[in-house]
Amino acid sequence: MKRILITLGLMFIAASPAWAQVGVVNPNVPVTITVPPPAGSPPGTPPTTRPTVPFTSEPNQLNNAYPTLLNAGVSGTGGWGVPIRNIYMPPQAVPIVVYDQYMEVAGEPWATQYAELPGYVVIETTLGYLYPERWTLLSLAKGVYQWQRVPSVFQPK
């Protein structure tokens, strides 16, 4: 009996943070709400507007999550999301084939050398991965290579 109560208690505690996520997305601008006239006011009294009270169930810009938390800034309007972590991509050694005129006499004019592509940092966000501008080698023909700048790109999850 004691195990069942402990298990149910732990399940209740584990499920309670999910209840806090249900609701309306808070705005990023000040909001006013329209409230009905107070009780006892004469008929025909127009409703009044007032600013919302922060840290209550009313929508308010101060109720938004801190910008670095996972659920901050996520909406259906697009964007890249909130940064979660940086992923370091180390430099890569790439084999390239180059022409060596002095080795042509020996019968093997093509030699393999190694070029190093510089490393870069990928930013993982709540909605995907942001790759920065970086350099890569472009092979135009056998033995002909050119450095090329790759533009930054966002890859959704």
Q: List pLDDT tens digits, range 39-55.
A: 888 888 888 887 877 77
User: Would you put residue 107 in left (φ > 0), alpha (ψ -120 to 50) or beta?
Assistant: left
Tokens in use for 33?
């709400």
Q: List pLDDT tens digits, range 85-133.
A: 899 999 999 999 998 888 788 888 898 999 999 999 998 888 889 899 9
- On the CB side of 65, CA atoms within 13 Å amount to 14
Mean confidence (pLDDT) of the chain: 78
* Listed residue (91, 133, 132, 130) closest to 114, CA to CA: 91
Q: What does pTM read for this prediction?
A: 0.49
